[in-house]
């Protein structure tokens, strides 16, 4: 009995079938002058049947809906690192769907790596 309980406690959260959470834009490009992006994000989500759901940015609650199966939401975000957004049932804690916004640097690498060793005569 103890083994079964331990496996249950450490198992990953269950993701609902046929549910999705989409965000756009999915990529933020930062420069050296500004280490963050201010984005106008649009979330589209859907789940198989109506229930209470909440949208989280990492562990921060953004918005909740009651008895909804589909939704759209606009949100202004300041992003510095890759950020995960999750749709979670607030009563059960079940992860319904998740997505993320990537952060990329605009600074391209200026130098190239040498193709041969510096000690080589050829």
Residue 7 pLDDT level (bands cut at 50, 70, 90): very low
Query: What pTM, to 2 d.p., does this model score?
Result: 0.71
| DSSP H/E element including 8 | helix 2-9
Let me know if residue 5 belongs to a domain.
no
What's the token pair of residue 10? 């450490």
Let me know if residue 53 belongs to a domain.
yes
Q: How many residues does the chain have?
A: 122
- Half-sphere exposure (Cβ direction) of 80: Cα atoms closer than 13 Å: 4
In this prediction, residue 50 carries a pLDDT of 93
Q: What is the pLDDT of residues 82-121, one digit of tens each?
A: 899 999 999 999 999 999 999 887 765 555 666 666 666 6
Q: Residue 29's domain spans which residues?
A: 12-105
CATH number of the domain bearing residue 22: 2.60.40.2470
State how many domains the chain has.
1
CA angle 57/82/38 to nearest 5° reads 75
Cβ atoms of 102 and 82 closer than 8 Å: yes
């Amino acid at each position: 009995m103890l083994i079964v309980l331990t496996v249950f406690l450490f198992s990953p959260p269950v993701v609902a079938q046929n549910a999705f959470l989409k965000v756009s834009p999915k990529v933020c490009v930062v420069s050296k002058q500004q280490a963050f992006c201010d984005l106008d994000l649009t979330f589209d989500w859907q789940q198989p049947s109506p229930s209470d759901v909440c949208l989280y940015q990492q562990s921060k609650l953004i918005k909740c809906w009651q008895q909804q199966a589909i939704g759209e939401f606009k949100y202004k975000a300041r992003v510095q690192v890759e950020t995960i957004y999750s749709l979670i049932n607030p009563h059960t804690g079940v992860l319904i769907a998740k997505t993320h916004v990537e952060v990329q640097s605009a600074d391209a690498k200026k130098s190239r790596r040498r193709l041969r060793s510096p000690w080589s005569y050829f």
